[in-house]
Amino acid sequence: MFRHSKWISSGLLLSLSSTLSAQDAEPVGNALASSSDAFFILIGAVLILSMHAGFAFLEVGSVRQKNQVNALNKIICEWGFSTLIYLFVGYPLARGLNLFGSVAEVGGVNGIEYMRFFLFLGFAACIPAIISGGVAERAKFWTNSLAGIIFVGLVYPLIEGFTWGQYSDGIATADGWLAQTFGAPFHDFAGSAIVHGTGGWLALPAIILLGKRIKRYESNSIKVSSIPFLALGSWILIVGWFGFNVMSAGALEDIQGLVAMNSLLAMVGGTIAAMLFSKNDAGFVHNGALAGLVAVCAGSDLYHPLGSLAVGAIAGALFVFMFEIETEKWKIDDVLGVWPLHGLCGLWGGIAAGIFGQESLGGSGGVSFMSQLVISCGIAVVAALAGFIVYGALKAAFGIRLDEQQERIGSDLSIHHIQSNPEDAL
Amino acid sequence: MFRHSKWISSGLLLSLSSTLSAQDAEPVGNALASSSDAFFILIGAVLILSMHAGFAFLEVGSVRQKNQVNALNKIICEWGFSTLIYLFVGYPLARGLNLFGSVAEVGGVNGIEYMRFFLFLGFAACIPAIISGGVAERAKFWTNSLAGIIFVGLVYPLIEGFTWGQYSDGIATADGWLAQTFGAPFHDFAGSAIVHGTGGWLALPAIILLGKRIKRYESNSIKVSSIPFLALGSWILIVGWFGFNVMSAGALEDIQGLVAMNSLLAMVGGTIAAMLFSKNDAGFVHNGALAGLVAVCAGSDLYHPLGSLAVGAIAGALFVFMFEIETEKWKIDDVLGVWPLHGLCGLWGGIAAGIFGQESLGGSGGVSFMSQLVISCGIAVVAALAGFIVYGALKAAFGIRLDEQQERIGSDLSIHHIQSNPEDAL
Amino acid sequence: MFRHSKWISSGLLLSLSSTLSAQDAEPVGNALASSSDAFFILIGAVLILSMHAGFAFLEVGSVRQKNQVNALNKIICEWGFSTLIYLFVGYPLARGLNLFGSVAEVGGVNGIEYMRFFLFLGFAACIPAIISGGVAERAKFWTNSLAGIIFVGLVYPLIEGFTWGQYSDGIATADGWLAQTFGAPFHDFAGSAIVHGTGGWLALPAIILLGKRIKRYESNSIKVSSIPFLALGSWILIVGWFGFNVMSAGALEDIQGLVAMNSLLAMVGGTIAAMLFSKNDAGFVHNGALAGLVAVCAGSDLYHPLGSLAVGAIAGALFVFMFEIETEKWKIDDVLGVWPLHGLCGLWGGIAAGIFGQESLGGSGGVSFMSQLVISCGIAVVAALAGFIVYGALKAAFGIRLDEQQERIGSDLSIHHIQSNPEDAL
Amino acid sequence: MKMVVAVIQPEKLDEVKQALFDIKIQRMTVSRVRGCGQQGGFEESYRGQVHKVNLLDKVRIEIAINDEFVDDALKAIISSAKSGAIGDGKIFVWPLEKCIRIRTEEDGPEAIG
Amino acid sequence: MKMVVAVIQPEKLDEVKQALFDIKIQRMTVSRVRGCGQQGGFEESYRGQVHKVNLLDKVRIEIAINDEFVDDALKAIISSAKSGAIGDGKIFVWPLEKCIRIRTEEDGPEAIG
Amino acid sequence: MKMVVAVIQPEKLDEVKQALFDIKIQRMTVSRVRGCGQQGGFEESYRGQVHKVNLLDKVRIEIAINDEFVDDALKAIISSAKSGAIGDGKIFVWPLEKCIRIRTEEDGPEAIG
Ligand SMILES: Nc1ncnc2c1ncn2[C@@H]1O[C@H](COP(=O)(O)OP(=O)(O)O)[C@@H](O)[C@H]1O
Ligand SMILES: Nc1ncnc2c1ncn2[C@@H]1O[C@H](COP(=O)(O)OP(=O)(O)O)[C@@H](O)[C@H]1O
Ligand SMILES: Nc1ncnc2c1ncn2[C@@H]1O[C@H](COP(=O)(O)OP(=O)(O)O)[C@@H](O)[C@H]1O
């Protein structure tokens, strides 16, 4: 994603427009090229924005009715918080850019810098949206929002900075220490490890620290509210994902049909594997598609399509088995399964780029298994630690969980003073 | 929006293709530029089309179950009526263009004239969709449709014609009387005042003339049906709005990242302000995002991003307070709150362009506070009068309200002979 | 659609990139043109992908609650099966292309071949999605999936191959036998007959062989579950259809505003006709829009906009009347009405291109009524036969229908072991 | 002790509840039901298929009550639920043998309130 | 006066209603309930978590009726609701002390119809 | 024969069902209801408009039962439904005159089980 680390690490806003205008001397083509880039990135950003509606409805369908409104308000409010903190803190930290200069300065040709921010924000804002599904039905609104703000303002931008952003020289460049040690830099095209991995591994300690929902492991006690809303969320995510992956190219001329093809096949692999391993369970099938898409992000520009099919299928199976182990065996009450979905499949995606990205497996090569393994695991560890520290501190300071009575009556009524279908109440 | 008033006011269909081909002499680039423009406008038009699904679901969620089907049928049928009347009457009136010539004549390069019509229609069709939410649950289908047809055929096109269209010389050009009087022409990039203001102020007299729903102000009597559908509608509108605003540039080379950025920040400002002032009320939060988006349209090409944040936040707060005053204090039964949302925030948006668009506040300048104030208020007054006359005449002639029995059993059964969840009936 | 039958029938993968690069010698413009094409096709493919969510929700709303989950799982799983079989069998058969070569070979400039596959797959995968709505609530999951696999792997690709693909010389070229016999080749721009016709006529024998649902023709026994979900599905389809039709151009420079305009007017014609002939019935109105869109596909690049309005209106009326005749008079239990919607309106669309496409009716000409009639009917006959043979054989071999008990408790519980709103069960 | 069951128009629920609260009857169990009676019904149509719907939305209120309060309760319900139009509903009364408060295991007349 | 309550299979509702209409019993109150009985139940599973569902959809019909019509009503219900399969349901009858029509305040046998 | 009706907290349903199964009472009809009692209620607000909600979710269990099992049933319900907090619910009992199994047309005590 945006492998032009030159301009990314330039850090000087004023130099941006010159960098851009230096690309090409021919004026007409240049104007069209730059506006086309802006358009291309915009569509990516809008598709990723729409994914947040997908996160919301996936959660609406997967929780009990008494927590649907909270799912909706949480996602849209956290989008707002993320926008502000990422604009003011996270983006400058990750990319060394700030957008507070005058419009004439920053805007440049077609204001492409603004479009880029919008796109990158879409990724950053996935972090709290991912966590949201794990801590659902019992987390306090405000402490959870605060955690999200810290993650989007500091934790994710640091991970982003060291892999995609201004500090990425060591890890992402062909002559950085990582490449010199293992033969190739770290490659995560659209964020399997960087975005999903971070989100999923941040969520895990949050889920453990929160503890299981009341009566979660008594028989017949907790059932999801709505498969149609769950599926709606899943479909919105699937469709938006083609923006998440394809527009990660960052410039129209770098668009790659292969990325779309690989996303498609990973989604299909994930769906079908999840269906086969779950006896056609609606919850698994619709999330299997997402598992495939999470896993394919990192190497979607490298794999042979059949490699993607395998990566996706493995992710689908991984999700099914690990969700059951996590929630049934280890009794970690991860409501939507965000750790196996984003954490594990993200980690798998990061590693998979080092396997199926190899030329011997039909990939385009230029990746190192060890680089992928080390950095993907590193991200997981850093995120898990950060999650533990932030949620641990918040728990100690304010408490992170609704009190028992609030949880019983549901977060809709206790936080938002309304039920999801108000007219149904007599 | 489409500030090339030259071709807009040319009024001669046959001259269009020559105008277009005159842009650029280099053939390859030109073909690509013109097809890219068509693509760009298409995406805008499709996003705006999708917003009508958003209007529909926002209403579905905000009314009682017995009026959900009517909300859905009303929106899709009014889209149909609007298309026909705007094609045959409104568009020729507003833009001096008609599209009935032979395909070869009108189509020209890539048939961009057709795409433009589709885009402009999307704006025009918002008028009845906006009104729909205010008159919900008690308006007659046919008289309300008729009013919509009159508005899309005559009232809106006249407002459009004088601000964006063929009569806009006085108001929108740098040497028109308005600019000569107040120093700058009227500026409404994507229609805060022209589209939303018109819709909202047309709705106000309709709502007053209709009167409140039966039992509206008795305790516990009217509750909304579904927060998830309300939120779905809101999300569809939010996502589509980036087409509404960004594609208002009208040509790909004029795409501005700033417009997307400003839309984003206004949406966030509106969401967060509405959340804070409403204690995290789901209805307000999801509409707060829309309030910000309504308000930012006019100056989204001018503001500094932080200016947009302020414009959006003010709109969010305005919506919360004025909705309560309108419905609780003045007892005007505006079901979805379309007057505060579109009418007031649209008016505010028109005026705000004259404030936050100033260079002293980081904007790009070239706007006059007085021009904005005068024309925005002028639009509101004209629309309110037109709404009063049209609904008043329809009320006198045919009646505009369902009879009591029809309202009691709901418009779904009385108009469409079906309930929204037919299987639920035993 | 993709009228460059030259490269389509080339059959040699290695020649593709040279074909592409031969288009234009100027390097900058060429890079932008090819990436813009990839972007254009991607958006089409993504919009068509989203239509599958539309198919799913249209079915969710139109069946009883006990069959909602199955509708959702069926659509997403069949998308997966279709992807695999079309990749491995159908696409090579239809287009003489396979995508298994190395990425460097196939990918070429911007990997446009992958994008094309994604787009064409979207069309192919409509076949089982169309059938799904007809056989709903009683078909076995696996035999129905198998039938879909056969159709997407063999039947549709053959029809595609002879009309759009590698065997289309006789039918689709200006010097083929068809053109020589009737004066013009067969023209089906976006698949009225080829996609929708095939799907609808494949479905008819399936529906007949399955038989009616238990108690279907007893009074008050079967009611649809949810008008809002039905309408949601319809809106998703409507919006996605602009990708289906416009991106059928296949290359950005061939984008035609006329196609969008005609799609719009046909949708409006279908909506309004269905409304008038059905007394504002929600099921008919929302499907009327789709009927118009099905019918307009074939000639959307030819018609005068008013011609499209007529084509759509006729389709809307056709759907209303023929659905009633089919289901009430002939007692064919076509749950969503896929035969009148896709089969008949698709057939009508194929023929209509030969009527309203004529210059005398304002069209661009170059079409022959007889060519349209013969091939459209031919497709219907072939599809009906294929449907009869495949479903007949499956019925004889395995049975295609759930047993009575399974049907009674619903396919959700009997196949997927879950109800659509699990929490509602006590 | 008696069991009083009233089937009323849904839109009257709030008034009936208030009327009962006014005479200090504050315990009741309420459910949505569908009623068939003189009120007739309506026809629903979906895509040309017509369904007769003769079960209309009603609300059912169940009140266990000590004998001495029954008359007041009936009066309160009648006066608040009555609109004079067909479909206003019915009240049914039958004797109750036992009433137990689960929380305290109290039995009999004291348990009712 | 009696209260007759029948718990039947949902799909039989239309037939039972018709059978009652045929003998001029046209007043009833109906609700969706869930029943547990010999019929057993099924297992639901969501993402590997298995729930036993032993409460199945049923419809509950409540008919207040004058004594002389009770036998006919029972016969009508039985004949129309019976499929012979487990899960057909039950009918319960108990005495009613009072029946009031809210609209007219009529009391007793005349109020029932 | 008696009719036992228990109104309980929804989250106790599974435990109550289990307690009844344990003493071989396996027939019951269950429905969602809303209850108003000492438990009070809550306020709902939507866009500044406040609604008082004093009807809370409850579950109503209806069990027809032969006289000799009534006491055991009551004990089982009480012990499983009781949390000690306000809102635990009530049990009502009244005499049943008739119980018919539709499938077999059996009448009386044998029909109940
Ligand atoms: N005999 C009865 N048994 C059970 N429910 C009844 C009976 N009579 C009336 N009801 C209930 O009361 C409701 C109102 O009765 P209806 O005859 O429509 O109005 P009214 O008695 O006010 O003229 C019915 O819809 C039904 O639910
Ligand atoms: N003793 C009872 N008390 C309450 N409801 C009962 C009782 N017995 C049966 N039912 C109701 O009747 C329904 C059918 O009973 P079931 O035993 O399954 O079938 P059948 O009696 O026809 O063999 C049950 O689901 C339940 O709702
Ligand atoms: N007299 C009554 N008649 C009908 N239902 C009652 C009666 N008393 C209590 N209930 C039901 O029991 C539920 C619990 O009663 P409540 O007074 O809140 O708790 P508790 O009795 O445990 O203190 C109520 O919500 C209501 O549904």
Which ligand lies nearest to the CA atom of residue E34 in the structure? Answer: 2
Name the DSSP class of A180: H
Closest residue, chain E, to C216 (C-alpha): E11
Number of domains, chain E: 1
Kindly tell me if the per-residue pLDDT of C274 is higher than 50: yes
Q: Give the angle subtended at the CA of C197 by the CAs of C195 and C199, to the nearest 5°.
A: 65
Q: CB neighbours of B393 closer than 8 A, spacing ≥ 6?
A: none
Whole-number Å distance between alpha carbons of E60 and E30: 6
Do the domain assignments include residue A12?
no
At A5 the pLDDT is: 36
Judge: D31–F89 Cβ closer than 8 Å, yes or no: no
Q: Is D12 on the interface with E (CB under 8 A)?
A: no
Judge: E93–F98 Cβ closer than 8 Å, yes or no: yes
Could you tell me the maximum CA-CA distance found in chain C, to the nearest angstrom?
70
Amino acid found at A214:
I
- pLDDT, tens only, B257-312: 999 999 999 999 999 999 999 999 999 999 999 999 999 999 999 999 999 999 99
Could you tell me the distance, in angstroms and rounded to a whole number, from the CA of residue D29 to the centre of ligand 3? Answer: 7
Tell me how crowded residue C158 is: count the other CB atoms within 10 A of its CB.
18
Nearest-CB residue to F102 (from E38, E60, E90): E90
D20 close to ligand 1 (CB < 6 Angstrom): no
Judge: E3–D94 Cβ closer than 8 Å, yes or no: yes
Is the Cβ–Cβ distance between F14 and F59 less than 8 Å? no
Amino acid found at B230:
L
Range C241-249 average pLDDT: 96
Q: D46 has which bridge partners?
A: D49
- pLDDT, tens only, B31-65: 899 999 999 999 999 999 999 999 999 999 999 99
Q: Name the more confident of D82 and C11.
A: D82
Is the Cβ–Cβ distance between A77 and B336 less than 8 Å? no
F12 close to ligand 3 (CB < 6 Angstrom): no
Closest residue, chain D, to F53 (C-alpha): D14
| Residue C173 exposure: Cα atoms within 13 Å on the Cβ side | 16
Encode burial over A38-71: b for 16+ CB neighbours within 10 A, e otherwise: bbbbbbbbbbbbbbbbbbbbbbbbbbbbbbbbbb
Q: Name the more confident of F12 and B9.
A: F12
User: What residues of chain C, 384 to 413, have a C-beta less than 8 Å from chain A?
Assistant: none
Whole-number Å distance between alpha carbons of B252 and A32: 8
Do the domain assignments include residue A77?
yes
> Which chains are adjacent to chain B, needing at least 3 Cβ pairs under 8 Å?
A, C, D, E, F
What rounded mean pLDDT belongs to chain C?
Answer: 92
Please list the ranges in chain F whose pLDDT falls under 50.
none
Is the Cβ–Cβ distance between C413 and E57 less than 8 Å? no
Do the domain assignments include residue A46?
yes
F90 close to ligand 3 (CB < 6 Angstrom): yes
Name the DSSP class of B139: B
Which ligand lies nearest to the CA atom of residue E90 in the structure? Answer: 2
At A107 the pLDDT is: 79
The residue ranges of DSSP E strands in C249-399, in sequence order, are none
Could you tell me the distance, in angstroms and rounded to a whole number, from the CA of residue B238 to the centre of ligand 3? Answer: 45
Which structure tokens are listed for A425?
């109440």
Protein residue whose Cα sits closest to atom 26 of ligand 2: E35
C-alpha dist (Å) from residue A413 to A57, A71, B150, C307: 19, 12, 44, 54
Which structure tokens are listed for D21?
């609260």
CATH number of the domain where residue A63 is located: 1.10.3430.10
C-alpha dist (Å) from residue C211 to C6, C208, C327: 45, 5, 12
CATH number of the domain where residue E16 is located: 3.30.70.120
Burial class (CB in 10 A: 0-12, 13-18, 19+), B423: middle
Q: Residue F66 sits in which domain range?
A: 2-112
Q: Residue B152 sits in which domain range?
A: 34-421
- pLDDT, tens only, C140-189: 999 999 999 999 999 999 999 999 999 999 999 999 999 999 999 999 99
Whole-number Å distance between alpha carbons of E63 and E2: 8
Which ligand lies nearest to the CA atom of residue D35 in the structure? Answer: 1
Judge: F98–E95 Cβ closer than 8 Å, yes or no: no
Number of domains, chain A: 1
Closest CA to F62 of F38, F104, F97, F92: F92
Best mutation site among F44, F46, F49, F57 for testing chain A: the one with the most A CBs within 10 Å? Answer: F44
Which residues in chain F have their CB less than 8 angstroms from residue B281's CB?
A: 45-48
Do the domain assignments include residue A376?
yes
Top mutation candidate among F59, F90, F94 for ligand 3, by most atoms within 8 Å of CB: F90
Q: Count A/E contacts: CB-CB distance under 8 Å.
A: 32
Do the domain assignments include residue A166?
yes
Whole-number Å distance between alpha carbons of A349 and A340: 12
Q: Is C144 on the interface with A (CB under 8 A)?
A: no
Top mutation candidate among F17, F27, F106 for ligand 2, by most atoms within 8 Å of CB: F27
Tell me how crowded residue A308 is: count the other CB atoms within 10 A of its CB.
31
Is the Cβ–Cβ distance between A263 and A296 less than 8 Å? yes
Best mutation site among C67, C256, C309 for testing chain B: the one with the most B CBs within 10 Å? Answer: C256
Whole-number Å distance between alpha carbons of A297 and A187: 10
Best mutation site among B13, B20, B30, B39 for testing chain C: the one with the most C CBs within 10 Å? Answer: B39
Which structure tokens are listed for C226?
């949810």
Do the domain assignments include residue A8?
no
pLDDT interval class at B334 (50, 70, 90): very high
Is the Cβ–Cβ distance between D59 and D35 less than 8 Å? no
Could you tell me the maximum CA-CA distance found in chain B, to the nearest angstrom?
70
Nearest-CB residue to A256 (from C32, C43, C110): C110
Which residues in chain B have their CB less than 8 angstroms from residue F49's CB?
A: 327-328
Is the Cβ–Cβ distance between B292 and B338 less than 8 Å? no
Range C292-319 average pLDDT: 98
Amino acid found at E37:
G
Could you tell me the maximum CA-CA distance found in chain F, to the nearest angstrom?
58
Kindly tell me if the per-residue pLDDT of C275 is higher than 70: yes
Helices B345-355 + B369-397 axis angle, to 10: 160
User: What residues of chain E, 20 to 39, have a C-beta less than 8 Å from chain B?
Assistant: 30, 32
Which residues in chain E have their CB less than 8 angstroms from residue A327's CB?
A: 47-49
The residue ranges of DSSP E strands in C139-221, in sequence order, are none
- pLDDT, tens only, B345-372: 999 999 999 999 999 999 999 999 999 9
Q: Is E90 on the interface with F (CB under 8 A)?
A: yes
| One-letter-per-residue 3-state SS of E12-53 | HHHHHHHHHHHCCCCCEEEEEEEEECCCCCEEEEECCEEEEE
Do the domain assignments include residue B9?
no
Which residues in chain C have their CB less than 8 angstroms from residue B417's CB?
A: 279, 281
Say which residue the tokens 């909506």 belong to: C271
Top mutation candidate among D5, D57, D90, D91 for ligand 1, by most atoms within 8 Å of CB: D90
Is the Cβ–Cβ distance between B347 and B319 less than 8 Å? no
Q: How far is C11 from chain A (nearest CA, A)?
A: 19
Nearest-CB residue to E30 (from D36, D74, D89): D36
Q: Count C/F contacts: CB-CB distance under 8 Å.
A: 4
Could you tell me the distance, in angstroms and rounded to a whole number, from the CA of residue F100 to the centre of ligand 2? Answer: 10
Give this prediction's pTM: 0.95
Q: CB neighbours of A373 closer than 8 A, spacing ≥ 6?
A: A350, A351, A354
- pLDDT, tens only, D49-69: 888 888 889 999 999 999 999
Which residues in chain C have their CB less than 8 angstroms from residue F32's CB?
A: 426
Amino acid found at B317:
A
At B29 the pLDDT is: 66
Protein residue whose Cα sits closest to atom 5 of ligand 1: E28
Q: CB neighbours of A22 closer than 8 A, spacing ≥ 6?
A: none
Judge: B285–A103 Cβ closer than 8 Å, yes or no: no
Whole-number Å distance between alpha carbons of C115 and C37: 9
Q: How far is B386 from chain A (nearest CA, A)?
A: 35
Could you tell me the distance, in angstroms and rounded to a whole number, from the CA of residue D95 to the centre of ligand 3? Answer: 18
Range E56-71 average pLDDT: 95
Range D31-52 average pLDDT: 87
- pLDDT, tens only, B220-264: 789 999 999 999 999 999 999 999 999 999 999 999 999 999 999
Could you tell me the distance, in angstroms and rounded to a whole number, from the CA of residue F63 to the centre of ligand 2? Answer: 9
D31 close to ligand 1 (CB < 6 Angstrom): no
Judge: C246–B53 Cβ closer than 8 Å, yes or no: no
Kindly tell me if the per-residue pLDDT of B8 is higher than 70: no
Whole-number Å distance between alpha carbons of F80 and F16: 5
At A28 the pLDDT is: 52
Is the Cβ–Cβ distance between B280 and A141 less than 8 Å? yes
Could you tell me the distance, in angstroms and rounded to a whole number, from the CA of residue C104 to the centre of ligand 1? Answer: 77
pLDDT interval class at C1 (50, 70, 90): very low
Least confident of A116-120, A164-168, A215-219, C324-328: A215-219
Closest residue, chain E, to D7 (C-alpha): E29
